[in-house]
C-alpha cells in the first residue's frame, strides 16, 4: 500500500510534469523548503531578497577595467566596462551575468583619452556618475546636448535618448553606470538601436551645451515656451552645486537628521525622481557621526564621493573609501557610520520608485 508521503510525492511530481505546482511546495511559510523546489518559501514573515549585501573595491575593479582596456577598443566593445555582479544572483540565468540587484545594473566604464563610444539608444534608463575626469573636455552628448563631465557630476541618459561619449581631454574618464536594464529585460521591454544604423554616422551633431541645459532647467524654473519633455530635461547635475547645497544645509542645522543630510536629485518638470524606475540621492554624514538604523524596501547602492564611511549591517560591515561600491538589499537594517574626522559625501541610487509605484515601499527608522 502506498504511504501518505509517497502519495503526496507522486502527486507533486505529477503537477510538475504538467508544468504546475501548488502552494504547499512553493509558498507555504513552514513547509515549502522541505520539498527542494525552492530554497526558501515565497511567503516569509519579512522580505528575504534574492540579492545579498556585498562590497566592491574600486581599486580592484579599476585594475581589471584597464586590463580590458588593453585588449578591447571602444569601437569593438561599444561600451567598455566592468559590470558588478551580485554573488547571490549568479545562479540565475542572465541576472547572474549583469545584475547587482534583480532590478538594477551597475558598472564602471572607461573612455580613454582620444576615444569615442558611438551613439545608440535603448529603452532602459541610464545615468553616469563621474568618478575620474580629465582636464579639458570629456563629454557625453544626449539628444544633441553636450555635457562636459567633472568628478561627481550626475549625467542622465533617459530611456530612448540618443547618447555617445567622447574624450577630448588630456587623460582618461571613468564613471559609474546605473541602469534599470535587468528589470526592463525581465519585463520583456528591451529595445536597442545604433545611431549609425539609422543615420549612417556614429556621432550626433551638438545642438546645445551643458551651460544652456543648466540655464534652462537648473534654477527651479522652466521655460514656458518649450514643450515639456516626457523625461527629466535636466541632463546634468553638477557636483559643485550638490556639494555646496549639502554644506550649506549642514552649516545651517544644529543636528544631523536621522539618515544624514540627504538630498534627492529631482526632475524639475514634476519634482519627482530622475527616472520612474530609479532614484538618486547624495548625502553628507558629518565627521564622527552616524545615522540611525534604517530599513527600507529598496535595493540601495552606496558610493562615497569624498571621505570614508562604514555601512554597517547586523552581521557584516563595509568600510568604504572613495568610489568603493556597496549594495544593501531590501529590508536589511543598516546604519552609516563616519568614524573619521572629515565629513563623508555619499552618492546612492536605488529602485525606490518601483516599490513606491506598486505600493510596496516601506520604511522604518530604528533607534
Ligand atoms: Fe547606452
Is residue 46 one of the residues assigned to a domain?
Answer: no
CATH number at residue 110: 2.60.120.10
Q: What is the pLDDT of residue 5?
A: 86
Per-residue pLDDT, 94: 83
- Among 53-57, 61-65, 222-226, 354-358, the minimum mean pLDDT is found in 222-226
pLDDT at res. 188: 94
The set of cell numbers assigned to 320 is: 568604504
From 24-28, 65-69, 344-348, the region with the lowest mean pLDDT: 24-28
* Range 132-155 average pLDDT: 96
Per-residue confidence (pLDDT) for residue 55, from 0 to 100: 98
Residue 105 falls inside a structural domain: yes
Contact by Cβ (8 Å): 29, 41 = yes
What is the whole-number distance in angstroms between the Cα of residue 290 and the centre of ligand 1? 36
Do 200 and 148 lie in a common domain?
yes
Task: Say whether both 309 and 165 belong to one domain.
Answer: yes
Closest among 297, 241, 284, 276 to 353, alpha carbons compared: 276
Domain count, the chain: 2
Q: What is the pLDDT of residues 78-135, one digit of tens each?
A: 899 999 999 999 998 888 888 999 999 999 999 999 999 999 999 999 999 999 999 9
The mean of the pLDDT values for the chain is: 95
The stretches of the chain forming alpha helices (DSSP H) are 4-17, 23-26, 58-71, 74-77, 95-98, 181-186, 195-199, 210-217, 239-251, 352-357
Structural domain range at position 27: 4-35
Residue 35 confidence (pLDDT): 87
- Return the closest-CA partner of residue 274 out of 337, 347, 165, 338: 347
**Per-residue confidence (pLDDT) for residue 196, from 0 to 100:** 94
Dihedral-angle region of residue 134 (phi above 0 means left; psi in -120 to 50 means alpha; beta otherwise) = beta
Domain membership flag for residue 277: yes
Look at residue 43 and tell me if it is in a domain.
no
pTM of the prediction? 0.93
- Distance of alpha carbon 277 from alpha carbon 158, whole angstroms: 11
Which single residue is written with the C-alpha cell 518601483? 354
Q: What pLDDT, on the 0 to 100 scale, is given for residue 229? A: 73
Q: Tell me, in angstroms, the distance from the centre of ligand 1 to residue 81's CA.
A: 12
Q: Are residues 202 and 341 in the same domain?
A: yes
Shared-domain flag, residues 150 and 257? yes
Lowest mean pLDDT among 188-197, 228-237, 258-267: 228-237
**Confidence band (pLDDT; 50, 70, 90) for 74?**
confident
Q: According to the model, what pLDDT value does residue 230 have?
A: 79
pLDDT of residue 302 exceeding 90: yes
Q: Which residue has the cell 577595467?
A: 65
208 CA → ligand 1 middle, Å: 20
Give the span between the Cα atoms of 149 and 155, in whole angstroms.
8
**Beta-bridge partners for 366:** 293
Give tens-digit pLDDT for 200-229. 999 999 999 999 999 888 888 888 887 767
Distance 257 CA to ligand 1 centre (A): 36
Q: How far apart are CA 107 and CA 126, in angstroms?
A: 11
Co-location of 225 and 271 in the same domain: yes
Is 48 domain-assigned? no
Contact present, 305 and 245 (Cβ < 8 Å): no
Q: Which of 333, 337, 326, 328 is nearest to 363 (CA)?
A: 333
Cell 513547509, residue located: 31
Same domain, 356 and 220: yes
Question: Please, which pLDDT band fits residue 264 given cuts at 50, 70 and 90?
Answer: very high
132 and 198 belong to one structural domain: yes
Pair (30, 117) in one structural domain: no
Q: Let me know whether 152 and 257 are in one domain.
A: yes
- What is the distance between the alpha carbons of residues 30 and 330, in angstroms, rounded to a whole number? 22
Distance 251 CA to ligand 1 centre (A): 39
pLDDT score at 219: 84
Q: Give whichever of 6-15, 122-131, 210-219, 266-275 has the largest mean pLDDT.
A: 122-131
| Rounded CA separation 367/233 (Å) | 39
Per-residue pLDDT, 367: 77
> 120 alpha carbon to ligand 1 midpoint, in Å?
6
In a domain, 352, yes or no: yes
Residue 207 lies in a domain: yes
Residue 196 alpha carbon to ligand 1 centre in Å: 14
What is the distance in A from the centroid of ligand 1 to the CA of 202?
13
Q: Evaluate whether residue 252 is within a structural domain.
A: yes
Same domain, 90 and 209: yes
Distance 141 CA to ligand 1 centre (A): 11
**Helix, strand or coil for residue 234?**
coil
What would the grid cell of residue 364 be?
522604518
pLDDT 10s digits, 285-301: 999 999 999 999 999 99
Considering the domain architecture, whether residues 149 and 21 belong to the same structural domain is answered as no
Q: Are 104 and 345 in contact (CB under 8 A)?
A: no
The pLDDT of residue 218 is 87
Of 88, 90, 128, the C-alpha closest to 329 is: 88
Same domain assignment for residues 139 and 235? yes
Amino acid at each position: 500500500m502506498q504511504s501518505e508521503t509517497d502519495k503526496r510525492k507522486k502527486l507533486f511530481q505529477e503537477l510538475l510534469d504538467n508544468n504546475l505546482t501548488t502552494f504547499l511546495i512553493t509558498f507555504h511559510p513552514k513547509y515549502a523548503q522541505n520539498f527542494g523546489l525552492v530554497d526558501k518559501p515565497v511567503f516569509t514573515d519579512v522580505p528575504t531578497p534574492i540579492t545579498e549585501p556585498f562590497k566592491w573595491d574600486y581599486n580592484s575593479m579599476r585594475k581589471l577595467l584597464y586590463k580590458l582596456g588593453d585588449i578591447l577598443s571602444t569601437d569593438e566593445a561599444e561600451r567598455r566596462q566592468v559590470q558588478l555582479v551580485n554573488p547571490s544572483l549568479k545562479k540565475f540565468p542572465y541576472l547572474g551575468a549583469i545584475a547587482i540587484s534583480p532590478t538594477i545594473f551597475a558598472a564602471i566604464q572607461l573612455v580613454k583619452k582620444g576615444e569615442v563610444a558611438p551613439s545608440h539608444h535603448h529603452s532602459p534608463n541610464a545615468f553616469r556618475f563621474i568618478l575620474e575626469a580629465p582636464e579639458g573636455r570629456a563629454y557625453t552628448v544626449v539628444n544633441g546636448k553636450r555635457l562636459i563631465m567633472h568628478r561627481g557630476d550626475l549625467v542622465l541618459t533617459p530611456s530612448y535618448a540618443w547618447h555617445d561619449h567622447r574624450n577630448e581631454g588630456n587623460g582618461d574618464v571613468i564613471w559609474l553606470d546605473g541602469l534599470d536594464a535587468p528589470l526592463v529585460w525581465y519585463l520583456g521591454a528591451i529595445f536597442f538601436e545604433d545611431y549609425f544604423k539609422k543615420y549612417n554616422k556614429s556621432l550626433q551633431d551638438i545642438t546645445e551645451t551643458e551651460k544652456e541645459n543648466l540655464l534652462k532647467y537648473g534654477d527651479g524654473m522652466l521655460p514656458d515656451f518649450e514643450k515639456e519633455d516626457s523625461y527629466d530635461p535636466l541632463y546634468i547635475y553638477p557636483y559643485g552645486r550638490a556639494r555646496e547645497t549639502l554644506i550649506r544645509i549642514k552649516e545651517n542645522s544644529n543636528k544631523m537628521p536621522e539618515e544624514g543630510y540627504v538630498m534627492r536629485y529631482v526632475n524639475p518638470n514634476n519634482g519627482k525622481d530622475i527616472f520612474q524606475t530609479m532614484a538618486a540621492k547624495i548625502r553628507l554624514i558629518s565627521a564622527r557621526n552616524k545615522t540611525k538604523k534604517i530599513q527600507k524596501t529598496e535595493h540601495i547602492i552606496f558610493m562615497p564621493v569624498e571621505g570614508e564611511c562604514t555601512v554597517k549591517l547586523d552581521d557584516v560591515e563595509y568600510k568604504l573609501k572613495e568610489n568603493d561600491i556597496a549594495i544593501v538589499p531590501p529590508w536589511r537594517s543598516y546604519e552609516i557610520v563616519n568614524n573619521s574626522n572629515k565629513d563623508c559625501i555619499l552618492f546612492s541610487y536605488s529602485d525606490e520608485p518601483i516599490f513606491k509605484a506598486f505600493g510596496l515601499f516601506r520604511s522604518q527608522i530604528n533607534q
